[in-house]
Amino acid sequence: MTRSGLTLSEKYLPGYKYVNLGAALADFLKDEDLTSRYLPMKAWDGLKGIMNEGTVDGVLALENISILFEPSLKINISSFLKEAMAGRGVILKLERKVSDDYRYYPFPGDKSYYLDLTGIDTTTC
């Protein structure tokens, strides 16, 4: 897979090196003041670095993406995905299936946090 676009999978796809996004971003932010108004900007800088360093052969494979839903980081997940897909393929290893309304709910039983995948070029496997 080297095309632009988003691949969603509940299993690890062979041949790809996955970046644990939660651990990588938490490590990047470990010395930051988590109450700072600049935290969202720092988080975005960290995400850009993770995208660049994690891209191998034109593909960025990510797991443990639930940190993207942390309210204090104020991450626009759709914008993150669009930037991540610019010129590369992105694989998201998800913990559960995407719902019939084409939303991904990362936390079982909590519908207040979700990723709306409407309008994003995706492949599911």
Per-residue pLDDT reduced to its tens digit, 12-47: 999 999 999 999 999 999 999 999 999 999 999 999
Range list of H helices, 6-119: 21-29, 39-54, 77-84
Domain ranges for the chain, please list them. 5-124
Are the beta carbons of 50 and 23 closer than 8 angstroms? no
Kindly report, residue by residue over 66-106, the tens digit of the pLDDT: 999 999 999 999 899 999 999 899 999 999 999 998 999 99
pLDDT band at 2 (very low <50, low <70, confident <90, very high): very low
